[in-house]
Amino acid sequence: MRADKGTGLALRYVAAVAVTIVFLFPIYWLASISFKTPDEIFASPPAWWPEQIQFANYAVLFKDGDVVTIWNSLVIASVSTVCAMLLGTMCAYSIARFRTGGNLFSDWIISNRMIPPIVIVFPVFLLYVRLGWVDTYIGLIVLYTAFNLPYVIWMMRGYIQDIPLELEESALVDGCTRWQVFWKVVLPMARGGLFATAVFTFVFAWNEFIFALVLTRSEVTTFPVQVTHYFGGQSNFWAKIAAMSMLGTVPIFIAVALLQRFLVRGISLGAVKG
Amino acid sequence: MVSGGGGSAVALAPGRLADRNFKYYMIFPAVLVILLIGLFPVIYTLIISFQNLTMMDEDTSFHGLMHYRALFEDARFWESLLHTFIFVAVALPAELLLGLAMAYLFLERLPGRQIFVALLVLPVVTSPIIAGATWRLLFDNQFGPINQILGWFAGEPVPIIWLVDPNFVYPAILIAEIWQWTPFMFLLLLAALSNVDKSQTEAAELDGASFLRTFRLIVLPAIWPVMAIAVLIRALDLFRLFDVVWALTRGGPGTSTETISIYAYVAGFQQFETSYTAAMAFVVIVILAVSITLVLRRLEIDR
């Protein structure tokens, strides 16, 4: 019986390792290409690891100035995250504590998250042409703020509902204004949820492709769009594809590793409170 | 565990007049911004779908249902819908079943489980366009490892041209898609399974119930709320599938893997058929609104 359990665990362990290897292999392959020399990248049969770690592929991106697309992504994702968090948390507080608009309003909010981006970006593009907002920071920041707001509201509503009411009531009795209660009592109490939601909001904006594809030309190109610029009839740019992808992906991996505790709740739109 | 609507009681009783309007001040800026994606696109696409705009021609006269009629007769439109449904119909069950199997694998005690889970989530947070780019490199017929690995099993070189061969382009896209999103299902189902009452499943097993029977009668009802939401989120994502296909094939070869999102992009931004694209976008909105309403009603009844 005991031996059975031991064998069962060993088998499951082997299976777990095998599954993990399968799922991580593509990421490993991308990383390995980013460190390979051209000869190694275009070896047939493929070389499974670089002979030595060298950063020439990354250096080229810095030398040619392609990394400015990482900067563009950083500006757009950061500013839109701050905007969405501020407006969204205000709205979430109103809904969580005063049931503003009732269930219908909440349902309307989240339904905006479900509209396909292509349906949104087409009329928005026509509008932006008139406003002169195509290929500008402001254009993408406003659109990402709008697109992420439903997510922020939905998530923060849940986190605020988890906070006990007593503190807010006693703060009101002590003579705080509503706004002070929100700013000085509620926000500090919700900081865990605020942080987690902000990171996910940032990741959505950082990873987004269609809006950026349509609404950028050359001035504010984001890194996912830049990666697709390297696709060509000839596959000479593999090193650039891999290096740029790594630059855009590794920071996200680190950020997500920091909030394991909030992960399931974050990606399930709050459906699972993990 | 599952957060419904409503929420905590209205305990902060309104006081002065300024206080009474506070809740509306708080939602106003957010609502204003959301209208940019929530209301404006719907109205604006509807209006221009009745006109005859192209990117070169500002013909704003009323053309009625002309574009909708053309859309109805456009084989490429119907095919793109069909392709989209193929992706949904294959990827969704595959991700669900694989995710469920993985969740069971990691459900019981396993040394280093936290680390495994932390690693398995990485595909989910990767940009879909980067995921597509990565698989593009993996599937390369000459310099990619996939043909090489298949060659080891076949015992001879495998020359599959994954992204061009009509027989292999769908499997290639589906593999990339399933790779990226199975961990999503896995994480949610693992969380749901962990919350199932152990004593009930154990009692059922002692009574001699088979695994499938226990699953159907005890586990499934318990994980259903989470599973339904996971499936709904993925179904909506798959319906608007764009990035992975764009990175791998751009809808090709020809138009054979074109999804509805890709066709709308091509029509709007490469063929510059403004009003026609608007009609297409509006049809997509209607399809989505109808199916979401039906699904939600269905879920409501099951509850």
Q: How far apart are CA A182 and CA A187, in angstroms?
A: 6
Q: What is the pLDDT of residues B67-112, one digit of tens each?
A: 999 999 999 999 999 999 999 999 999 999 999 999 999 998 888 8
Cβ neighbours, 10 Å, residue B302: 10
Q: How confident is residue B21, by pLDDT bands cut at 50, 70 and 90?
A: confident
Which of B217, B226, B188 lies closest to B99, judged by CA?
Answer: B188
Please give the average per-residue pLDDT across B212-235, as a whole number: 91
- Given an 8 Å threshold on Cβ–Cβ distance, is A119 in contact with B187? no
What domains sit in chain A, N to C, each tagged with a CATH number?
Answer: 2-54 (no CATH), 61-267 (1.10.3720.10)
Distance between CA atoms of A186 and A209, rounded to whole angstroms?
34
Higher-confidence residue: A232 or B266? B266
Evaluate whether A216 touches A135 at the Cβ level (below 8 Å).
yes
C-alpha B93, offset from chain centre: 12
Orientation of helix B113-120 relative to helix A260-267, angle to 10°? 50
Beta bridge partners of A35: none
Q: How many CB atoms lie within 10 A of CB A51?
A: 11
| pLDDT value for A114 | 85
Asked if residue A211 has pLDDT above 50, the reply is yes
Residue among A220, A249, A228 nearest A34 (CA): A249
Q: To the nearest whole number, what is the mean pLDDT of chain B? A: 88
Is residue B137 within 8 A of residue A46, CB to CB? The reply is: no
Hey, what amino acid is at B118? A
Residues of chain B positioned with their CB less than 8 A from the CB of A13: 110-111
Whole-model pTM: value is 0.90
Q: What mean pLDDT do residues B199-212 have?
A: 87
Contacts of B278 in chain A (CB under 8 A): 122-123
| B64 residue type, one letter | G
- The contacts of residue B181 (CB under 8 Å, 6+ apart) are B91, B95, B123, B124, B234, B237
pLDDT at B301: 54
**Tens-digit pLDDT profile for residues A3-22:** 577 788 899 999 999 999 99
- CA end-to-end span of chain A: 33
Nearest-10 crossing angle of helices A260-267, A238-257: 110
What pLDDT, on a 0 to 100 scale, did the predictor assign at position A236? 63
Q: Is residue B58 helix, strand or coil?
A: strand
Residue B14: is its pLDDT beyond 70? no
Sole residue written with tokens 């290409």: A33
Contact B277 A97 (CB under 8 A): no
Where do we find the tokens 């305990």?
A: B11
Omega of the bond leading into A45 within 30 degrees of 0 (cis): yes
- Reported confidence tier of residue B8, pLDDT bands at 50, 70, 90: very low
How close is the nearest chain B Cα to the Cα of A48, in Å?
8
pLDDT value of position B300:
63
What pLDDT is recorded for position B204? Answer: 87
| CA nearest to A91 within chain B | B27
The yes-or-no verdict on residue B173 having pLDDT over 90 is yes
Which is more confidently placed, B164 or A5?
B164
Contact (CB<8Å) B144/A19: no
> How many C-beta neighbours within 10 Å does residue B68 have?
15
How many other CB atoms are there within 10 angstroms of residue A155's CB atom?
25
Q: Up-side HSE of residue B122: CA atoms within 13 Å toward CB? A: 21
What is the pLDDT at residue B3?
40
Q: Please compute the mean of the pLDDT values over residues B128-133 and round it to a whole number.
A: 96
CB < 8 Å to B129, chain A: 207, 209, 224, 227-228
Q: Residue B17 pLDDT more than 80?
A: no
> Are the CB atoms for B102 and B186 separated by under 8 Å?
yes
| Interface A:B, Cβ pairs < 8 A | 293
Q: What span, in angstroms and rounded, lies between the C-alpha atoms of A84 and A79?
A: 9
Closest CA to B236 of A265, A113, A204, A263: A113
The per-residue pLDDT for A73 is: 96
ipTM confidence: 0.91
Query: For residue B5, what pLDDT is reported?
Result: 39
What's the CA gap between B216 and B219, in Å, rounded?
6
* Residue type at B195 in one-letter notation: N
Q: Which residues of B touch A210 (CB under 8 A)?
A: 242-243, 261, 265
Q: What would the mean pLDDT of A217-237 be, rounded to a whole number?
A: 85
Q: What is the mean pLDDT of residues B107-133?
A: 93
By Cβ distance, the residue of B23, B281, B284 closest to A94 is B23
**Average confidence (pLDDT) over A120-139:** 94
Condensed to tens digits (0 to 9), the pLDDT of residues A60-102 reads 999 999 999 999 999 999 999 999 999 999 999 999 999 888 8
Report the gap between the CA of A187 and the closest CA in chain B (Å): 14
Which residue carries 């059922």 as its tokens? Answer: B204
Query: Distance (Å, rounded) from C-alpha B112 to C-alpha A17?
Result: 10
All residues of chain B having their beta carbon less than 8 Å from the beta carbon of residue A119 are 41, 45, 264, 281, 284-285
| Mean predicted confidence (pLDDT) in A46-58 | 90
Cα distances (angstroms) measured from residue A113 to each of A85, A145, B21, B90: 15, 12, 27, 24
Best probe of the A interface among B17, B27, B158, by most A CBs < 10 A, is: B27
What's the CA dihedral at B38, B39, B42, B48 to 10 degrees? -140
Closest B-chain CA to A258:
B118
pLDDT at A262: 86
Q: Kindly list the structural domains of chain B, giving each domain's residue range(s) and its CATH number in brackets, ordered by start.
A: 74-302 (1.10.3720.10)
What single-letter DSSP state applies at residue B199? Answer: H
Q: Can you give the pLDDT at residue B2? A: 39
Gyration radius (Cα) of chain B, Å: 24
Contact yes or no for A165 and B117 at CB 8 A: no
Residues A15/B107, Cβ–Cβ less than 8 Å: no
Q: Two tokens at A59?
A: 């250096």
